[in-house]
Amino acid sequence: MATEDPPSPEILYPDWQNEYAAALLETNSEKLSARLEAAEAAIFNRLQHLSQNSDSYTERQVIEDALQSLRVLKRDQLMHPDWEK
């Protein structure tokens, strides 16, 4: 009996989540830095757009979680200092 893979989580915010997902899935350490930069730039651009919209609380929360994940990835994979400490 073959098991099926669970469906991929739906991309709710493609303006930045595609770049974010690419960074999370990057296994080549030489390419990871560029992926992280692209994800952070996409998030920054989206935050600029959201600054003019007060109805974006849910997306802002998702962005905060994503930024935390990117910080951990930078710390653990690229040996960046942990500025949270």
Asked, for residue 37, whether it belongs to a domain, the answer is yes
**Residue 4 belongs to some domain of the structure:** no
Tell me if 9 is assigned to some domain. Answer: no
Q: What is the pLDDT of residue 84?
A: 60
Helices within the chain (DSSP H only): 14-25, 29-50, 57-78
CA distances from 35 to 1, 3, 27 (A): 38, 32, 11
Q: Is 73 part of a structural domain of the chain?
A: yes
Specify whether the CB–CB gap between 43 and 51 falls below 8 A: no
pLDDT digits (tens, 9 = 90+) for 12-49: 999 999 999 999 999 998 899 999 999 999 999 999 99
Residue at 72 is within a domain: yes
Kindly tell me if the per-residue pLDDT of 7 is higher than 50: no
Domain carrying residue 66: 16-21+32-49+56-78
pLDDT at 61: 95
What's this model's pTM, rounded to 2 decimal places?
0.80
Which residue did the predictor score with more confidence, 75 or 9? Answer: 75
